Amino acid sequence: MFRICITLLMLPLGFILFAQNVYFIDGYHGGIYGHYPVEWKTRFITDNYYKHPEWRINLEIEPETWDSVKLRTADDYSRFKEIVTNERIEFTNPTYAQPYCYNISGESIIRQFQYGIKKINEHFPSVKFITYSVEEPCFTSCLPQLLKSLGFRYAVLKCPNTCWGGYTQAHGKDLVNWIGPDGTSILSVPRYDCEHFEKNSTWQTKAWNNSKSYLKDCSDSGIKNPVGMCFQDAGWKNGPWLGFGHNVSNNSTYVTWREYIDKFSAGKTDDNWHFSQEDVHVNLMWGSQVLQKIGQEVRKSENSIVTAEKMGTLAYLENKYSYRNEQVDEAWRTLMLAQHHDSWIVPYNKLKTKRTWADEIVRWTGNTNKIANSVVKEAVESFESERKSKNNDGFIRVFNTLGFSRNEIVSIQLPDKFINTNFIIQSVGNTEIPYTIEKRNKVCFQADVPSFGYATFRILRGKPVFRNTKHTFSNNKNECVLENELYKIVFDLQKGGTIKSLIVKENNNKDYVKKGNEYLLGEISGYFYDEKRFHSSKENRAKVTLIKDNLFETVILIRGEIATHPFKQIVTIAKGQERIDFDLEIDWKQNVGIGEYKQQNNWQDNRRAFCDDRFKLNVLFPVDFNSTKLFKNAPFDVCESRLENTFFNSWDSIKHNVILNWIDLTDTDNGNSMALFTDHTTSYSYGKDFPLGLTLQYSGKGLWGPDYNVTGPLHVTYALLPHKNKWDESSVSAKSASWNEPLITYLSTDFSFENKSFIDLQKSGYELSSVQTLNDGILVRVFNAEGDDSAQKIKLNFPFKSIQEIELNDEPKQTDLSIKANSNNELLISVPKFGIRTFQIKN
């Protein structure tokens, strides 16, 4: 025994340390759009597979890549196909275009997986998808329920060698149960608590190469079977990353993720990690003009294609119209490409087309919008019947693609025959509807539209009865007042048109503006580093012009300057609409530097000028709240923020400060709240002594070194929603959905005079994430955005043969839930908060 102890003491430390079993995940990341040299790469992978039998290959390759491989290198494709289902190979991320996920809609994430899996299985039908693992920070809190419903068993929350755009929170060891917001759990490998950042690196954790230092940290933390990881860029000419044969670094064993979790991990854990969206620490070039436009283009296309599918299904239920699936598939394809992570982190990089990612996104989203608009037009026109009414000059039909009824202002252009002509508008039931006529014969009225259906209004010759609604607009040199039944808003023209008073009448005339504050509500402010000073819109006087003031809307135009650059902002309040709309444009005279300081070429340094958003151009919203909580939506989630503030200025201290669709700020003392809606994914600022701010503009050097310059006018739309009580009690999510999917109006002489609702989610708090037409019925996906876990009624106002709840992989869901309709065609279903459920309904 004594001799054994002496012998052990004499052994080198490395030998003792690495007597433990250590594992490594190797493989490739990329694709036809993001670095996959088709001419040689597939052959290279196959050759090395046979050359190094100890090697394992984890693949994160864009699915569309295999089309090109098959077409251009048929022999290499055939050889690879022979080995693709071997246990030494695992496909870990089948999404169509490898999106970051946190920056797009939940429905988009589902389609990324579904279209990607379909494409891979077209080439390799036997490939199964077991583990979700990525090389970039492509994470979001709702993934557990999506992955499990797609058939995945495991997930990985580390991306050690490509953390340029961020990383996940370090947590735990070995394994965790990653629990999503709906309660779904998936067994996952975390970024270990001891998995620190690599020294002198701003893109790696220590797990990227199974270094002695990393493995010692794992050993000291009690991790029995540590694992490192690197998905190599598919453009690199490396074989096994850590060496091969007897020369694999630190005696590491190559494994696939499936193999590691199944064979070399405990296979289970008691560590239940309720993963928050704020555990995703990500930072892109928020506020740069190029990323702002990308965000707006993607958001517009997300809204348009989902709306098109819903409109097509409305028409299918009414008159058997059927959109062409290949057309809609192509619309989704180009949208998904625009959601590629590279398009967001390296927008100036050029593709093989010689155009930049930003250039391609304009083309891709343009194609999506063109197809979506075509489907909507065809669907609407399919409602026209051959029966013309003899006593009218036409019908206006208003379509609602959401699952709840809406009462909103709509407008439509009338033909020239109505110029200088008296006419009335009637709803079904022959009730006269007040309206106004604007320039160019545009009629505007308030429409009450049933859920997922339509309302029809009849135009008749005759003298209308107009009813006045109290609107007040007053203006002098110093201030402007906007007022309707909901709000009284006072704009301070001496201070750039900022808001000095925002009185919410239905909340006991509460004034939301914080008085005596350094910052003003609606103030546009940022640090212009070439001048070494902050500039603000409040430094200059503003002028106001009344654009519209009628029965339903009051619209003003505010003109001002910031640092000599002119801006104009349109502000709209509408009857019965709690939302206050803003349309802002800054007409930059030339490129200006905006940010904490002038970033030099040392953008890879840990300290960076483009991180602290307080110095970027912001529009600010100081509100008169005391103790506050901040909520922000995420894909199929709403996150209650745990951050004291959003401020950071280095790569190693990134905080989650991303706004997807909306943020809601609540005063916990009295329930007063205000939501902020945005037309694109971007960042926000908030903390002690700094009000809520929406990032508008950064200009300077950024990630990968290019100048993220101002190249034209800034144009954004946003909205404020003052309200009482928490976001879910005030239907903030539903009101955001209404903002993103506006009512659709259409004029025809051939509509039948009726109203219809096909799907009614009633007061469940559910939303229609998707409604699609199938070959023999429809697909309905609901998301519990604001309801509780109790059973809710959903009414289907159309005949159907059967209904089946299905998983996202189209497999029937094994559930005891009864989904048979009662005599009123009502379904009783229960969906956990932030959960989704998908139903296949056959005719």
Q: What is the 3-state secondary structure (H, E, C) of 361-392?
A: HHHHHHHHHHHHHHHHHHHHHCCCCCCCCCCC
- Per-residue pLDDT, 818: 46
DSSP single-letter state for residue 398? E
- Per-residue pLDDT, 472: 75
Confidence check: pLDDT of 685 > 90 = yes
DSSP single-letter state for residue 235? T
pLDDT tens sequence across 655-675: 999 999 999 999 999 999 999
Residue at 800: amino acid letter: F
Confidence check: pLDDT of 390 > 90 = no
In the numeric block, the tokens 């036409």 are attached to: 394
Sign of the Cα torsion 412, 418, 422, 426 reads negative
Please name every residue paired with 447 in a beta bridge, in sequence order, or none if there are none.
408
CB 242 within 8 A of CB 209: yes
- Per-residue pLDDT, 475: 84
**With bands split at pLDDT 50, 70 and 90, how would you rate the model's confidence at 823?**
low
- Per-residue pLDDT, 815: 59
DSSP single-letter state for residue 718? E
How many contiguous H segments (helices) and E segments (strands) does the chain have? 14, 50
Q: What is the mean pLDDT of residues 803-808?
A: 96
- Per-residue pLDDT, 132: 98
State the Cα–Cα distance between residues 176 and 192, nearest whole angstrom: 10
Q: What is the mean pLDDT of residues 740-751?
A: 94
- Per-residue pLDDT, 653: 98
Helix/strand/coil percent split, the chain, to 5: 25, 35, 45
State the Cα–Cα distance between residues 582 and 817, nearest whole angstrom: 45
Q: What is the mean pLDDT of residues 519-537?
A: 98
CB 756 within 8 A of CB 814: no
pLDDT mean across residues, the chain:
94
pLDDT tens sequence across 276-300: 999 999 999 999 999 999 999 999 9
Confidence check: pLDDT of 516 > 90 = no
pLDDT tens sequence across 703-713: 999 999 999 99
DSSP single-letter state for residue 670? T
DSSP single-letter state for residue 264? I
**With bands split at pLDDT 50, 70 and 90, how would you rate the model's confidence at 392?**
low
Q: Which residue has the higher pLDDT, 7 or 120?
A: 120
Confidence check: pLDDT of 447 > 50 = yes
Question: Which residues, in sequence order, are CB contacts of 792 under 8 Å at separation 6+?
Answer: 761, 762, 764, 765, 766, 828, 829, 830, 831
Alpha helix locations (H) across 403-522? none
State the Cα–Cα distance between residues 82 and 65, nearest whole angstrom: 17
Q: Beta 227-233 vs 23-30: how paired, if at all?
A: parallel
Reduced to 3 states (helix: H, G, I; strand: E, B; else coil), residue 107 is helix
Say what the pTM is: 0.96
Backbone phi, psi, residue 755, to 5°: -115, 145
In the numeric block, the tokens 């289970």 are attached to: 268
CB 60 within 8 A of CB 162: no
DSSP 79-100: HHHHHTTSTTEEE----SS-B-
CB 266 within 8 A of CB 82: no
Confidence check: pLDDT of 35 > 90 = no
Q: Beta 131-132 vs 154-156: how paired, if at all?
A: parallel
**With bands split at pLDDT 50, 70 and 90, how would you rate the model's confidence at 626?**
very high
- Per-residue pLDDT, 434: 94
From 11-15, 95-99, 480-484, 802-806, the region with the lowest mean pLDDT: 11-15
Confidence check: pLDDT of 822 > 90 = no
**With bands split at pLDDT 50, 70 and 90, how would you rate the model's confidence at 431?**
very high
CB 104 within 8 A of CB 335: no
State the Cα–Cα distance between residues 350 and 333, nearest whole angstrom: 20
Percentage of the chain lying above the pLDDT 70 cut? 95
- Per-residue pLDDT, 440: 77
CB 183 within 8 A of CB 832: yes
144's enclosing H/E stretch is helix 143-150
CB 694 within 8 A of CB 682: yes
In the numeric block, the tokens 């620490």 are attached to: 281
Q: What is the mean pLDDT of residues 187-193?
A: 98
